[in-house]
Amino acid sequence: MRTTSNNDRASNGQNKRQPYGAVPAFEDADLLEAEGNGFASNCERLKTFPPDTRRTWKAKLTTYVAIAMALMSIVLCMGIILNVVLGGTWGMETIDNEKSQATQARPSSTNTKTLHLYDELGRYILEDYDAQPPFSDFLPALAGYFGKPLYAFYINRGQGIAAFGVESKEYPIMEFHSANVAYQNTALLGFRTFIQGSRQKKDQDSFFVEPFSLLQTRFPNIPLHHNDMDKLLPSSTTPKRYMYVGSNEMQIREVDTAHRLETNVTYFVLPEEDFGSFVKRTTITNTDAKESLTLSFLDGLAQIQPAGGEMEKPLKTIGRTLQGWMGVYSPYDDSDGMMRMPFFRLSTQPNDSASVVVQKAGHWCLSVLESDNDSTLLPIVYDTSKIFGQDTSLLHPVGLSNRPISEILKEKQYGRAKTSSAFAAVDHIKLAPGKSVTISTFFGKANNVLDIPVISRRVLQLGFSQYKVMRTREIIKQITAVVETTTSHPLWDGHVQQMFLDNALRGGVPSILGEIDDDARLRNVDEDPRLKTYHLFSRIHGDLERDYNGFVIKPTFFSE
């Protein structure tokens, strides 16, 4: 091996300058041989490098160290931020799905200092939802491959649901309004609940209350009554309210400490049935630890629209005239005079034509009182004046002020030539401390009034509603399972699945239809004439805010 003196090396370093950033070439391989010689030996050998080379490597080393320190600082800062944001806000709830709906959405703490963003089901929690800035949203109407979806829009006012119906806003069951109008009238024209109750030990301790009433919203620094200017909201006796926004469902909850009541309402689109339906499931719980509660209540829709062709424009322009065609029908007369299967339709379609089209299809409402061993079909109060009297604003239920619900059920109702209601009635039920009562109310459209008894036999099956709630959640999980992510931060995991769901619904979820065998698996779908790619569940255009866009959700199997 040829040797080179230090002077030769220095001379070579001065006469043979290396370009900036280039790795210097050395003829002496011993200077670069590091393996097996130890760190100290290598350091001694580095001292023999030319001065320019040592300065170059020192500058590079300093740069690399600075970059490494900067990266470590960035990672450390991101870790602190994630720990504060996610660790301080990601809250879990304890949920008992086997007992009742009342315990599904109870936060682990009501301390306002601890913010819980999500429950155990991954639903977003909005505390005091009706006192927050208004927003609108919709249920994606995913009823499965063999289900018939309905559309539904909701807002954070009243009991939430602002509009729902069949196929498009031309065929509403609850009338479609633009967001600015829906924010104003949903609390009055939408779903309502009225409770008459009394405690067992105190006959004088009777009360009348409307859960989710707009008069009890916890707006800050607003008097509860005009003569109570010294009592500013929110007070300790004002009900506490929560909204739980799921991917395919929405739930609201009110905790009324003054009357020792808790009211839970869950909305979802009925999945995997040969009839489409929008479902409201209401649970009322006696939260008193010692006293029993006897109650009667009405729960349902303040205004329901009949079927009769395309209704969007007539409802907005000739609503009063349209009432002349309205009527409420039933497949048969109940022996006790109470209607349990109301059928809302126009007598004829109000078309501007020479021919008369008799209207046969209609909207139906069925409500089921659930128990551990049985299910009972409840009577429906459809005469609006029986509940609200002469209060045409529907703000105060004047008809319930001085008489019990049992008297209303005995009176004759009128549903012709007027806009009707659809309230399920529960009369005189007793709840022990901590016990609950649950009813499920179904709304849908049928081609004939004789279809309703067939549908009623299905919804009366024991555990029908509870099972359908679970299937509603499972359908979403089946779609998003392909991007299921498990990290140390559940918030990120949920974000990935929700983004996939949102984008899938924009173009539809691709499904392969046809005969899939071993030969088909070896080829692309486009190469096999037996296979067809079909996009399901496309949900584009049209909502309460983008009211200029129309939307169509076909109530059929394999709905696009």
Residues 6+ apart with CB under 8 A from 120: 92, 93, 94, 95
Q: HEC string of 521-552?
A: HCCCHHHCCCEEEEEECCCCCCCCCCCCCCCC
Q: Are residues 386 and 454 in the same domain?
A: yes
Q: Are residues 250 and 384 in the same domain?
A: yes
Position 532 in a domain: yes
Model confidence over 467-501: pLDDT tens digits? 999 999 999 999 999 999 999 988 888 889 999 99
Q: Are residues 178 and 190 in the same domain?
A: yes
H runs (alpha helix) in 353-404: 384-388
Q: Please answer whether residues 331 and 450 qualify as being in contact, where contact means their C-beta atoms are separated by less than 8 angstroms.
A: yes
Position 338 in a domain: yes
Question: Nearest to residue 341, comparing CAs of 352, 333, 330, 351?
Answer: 330
Q: HEC string of 203-232?
A: CCCEEEECCCCHHHCCCCCCECCCCCCCCE
Position 95 in a domain: no
Which pLDDT value is given to residue 514? 81
Strands, E assignment, 257-307:
261-269, 278-286, 293-304
Position 491 in a domain: yes
Position 148 in a domain: yes
Answer yes or no: is pLDDT of 197 > 90: yes
Which pLDDT value is given to residue 490? 83
Question: Nearest to residue 503, comparing CAs of 528, 475, 535?
Answer: 535
CA dist., res. 35 & res. 42, Å (int): 9
Question: Nearest to residue 162, comparing CAs of 203, 198, 191, 119?
Answer: 191
Which pLDDT value is given to residue 23? 40
**Mean pLDDT across the stretch 510-522?**
77
Average confidence score pLDDT of the chain: 82
214 — phi, psi (to 5°)? -65, -20
Number of domains in the chain: 3
Tell me the longest C-alpha to C-alpha distance in the chain.
119
465 — phi, psi (to 5°)? -65, -45
Q: Which domain holds residue 23?
A: 6-64
Helix axes 490-507, 464-480, angle to 10 degrees: 90
Model confidence over 314-351: pLDDT tens digits? 999 999 999 999 999 998 876 667 899 999 999 998 88
**Mean pLDDT across the stretch 120-132?**
93
pLDDT tier at 306, thresholds 50, 70, 90: very high
The pTM of the full predicted model, rounded to 2 decimals, is 0.78
Residue 481 class from Cβ within 10 Å (0-12 exposed, 13-18 middle, 19+ buried)?
exposed
Chain position carrying tokens 């009225």: 194
Say how many C-beta atoms besides its own lie within 10 A of residue 27's C-beta. 10
Which pLDDT value is given to residue 88? 41
Q: In this structure, what token pair is assigned to residue 170?
A: 């031309």
Residue 420, classed as helix, strand or coil, is strand
Which pLDDT value is given to residue 3? 45
Q: How far is CA 155 from the centre of its chain?
A: 10
Last residue of a domain, one of 432, 459, 480: 480
Q: Please answer whether residues 170 and 303 qualify as being in contact, where contact means their C-beta atoms are separated by less than 8 angstroms.
A: no
Higher pLDDT, 245 or 529: 245
Residue 104 φ/ψ region, left for φ over 0, alpha for ψ in the -120 to 50 degree band, beta for the rest: alpha
Model confidence over 375-415: pLDDT tens digits? 999 999 999 999 999 999 999 999 998 899 999 999 999 99
> Between the CA of residue 246 and those of 84, 95, 140, what are the distances in Å?
25, 15, 10
Which pLDDT value is given to residue 85? 47
Position 221 in a domain: yes
Model confidence over 408-445: pLDDT tens digits? 999 999 999 999 999 999 999 999 999 999 999 999 99
Higher pLDDT, 355 or 135: 135
Q: Are residues 115 and 130 in the same domain?
A: yes
Residue 332 φ/ψ region, left for φ over 0, alpha for ψ in the -120 to 50 degree band, beta for the rest: beta
**Mean pLDDT across the stretch 500-505?**
89
Model confidence over 41-67: pLDDT tens digits? 545 555 565 666 666 766 766 777 778
Please say whether the dihedral angle defined by the alpha carbons of residues 362, 446, 555 and 439, taken in this order, is positive or negative: positive
Residue type, 263: T
Residue 385, classed as helix, strand or coil, is helix
Q: Are residues 333 and 471 in the same domain?
A: yes
Answer yes or no: is pLDDT of 2 > 60: no
Q: Are residues 461 and 525 in the same domain?
A: no
Q: Give percent of the chain above pLDDT 70.
A: 77
Which pLDDT value is given to residue 45? 54
Which pLDDT value is given to residue 261? 96
Answer yes or no: is pLDDT of 101 > 60: no
Q: Are residues 364 and 431 in the same domain?
A: yes
Q: Are residues 51 and 184 in the same domain?
A: no
**Mean pLDDT across the stretch 118-132?**
92
Q: In this structure, what token pair is assigned to residue 72?
A: 């470590």
Higher pLDDT, 535 or 386: 386
Which pLDDT value is given to residue 512? 82
pLDDT tier at 113, thresholds 50, 70, 90: very low
CA dist., res. 437 & res. 101, Å (int): 10
Which pLDDT value is given to residue 53? 65
Answer yes or no: is pLDDT of 8 > 60: no
Question: Nearest to residue 284, comparing CAs of 197, 190, 199?
Answer: 197
Which pLDDT value is given to residue 342? 96
Residue 509 class from Cβ within 10 Å (0-12 exposed, 13-18 middle, 19+ buried)?
middle
Q: Are residues 365 and 424 in the same domain?
A: yes
Answer yes or no: is pLDDT of 99 > 50: no
Q: Are residues 320 and 448 in the same domain?
A: yes
Answer yes or no: is pLDDT of 118 > 70: yes
Higher pLDDT, 443 or 107: 443
Position 516 in a domain: yes
39 — phi, psi (to 5°)? -70, -45
Q: Are residues 294 and 337 in the same domain?
A: yes
CA dist., res. 450 & res. 458, Å (int): 14
Q: Please answer whether residues 294 and 197 qualify as being in contact, where contact means their C-beta atoms are separated by less than 8 angstroms.
A: yes
Answer yes or no: is pLDDT of 193 > 50: yes
Position 422 in a domain: yes
Q: In what order do the strands lie in the sheet with 172-174?
A: 136-139, 151-155, 161-165, 172-174
Model confidence over 200-248: pLDDT tens digits? 765 557 899 999 999 999 887 665 555 554 454 455 678 999 999 999 9
CA dist., res. 474 & res. 30, Å (int): 68
Q: Are residues 26 and 160 in the same domain?
A: no
Answer yes or no: is pLDDT of 17 > 50: no
Q: Please answer whether residues 328 and 415 qualify as being in contact, where contact means their C-beta atoms are separated by less than 8 angstroms.
A: yes
Chain position carrying tokens 């160290």: 65
Residue type, 244: Y
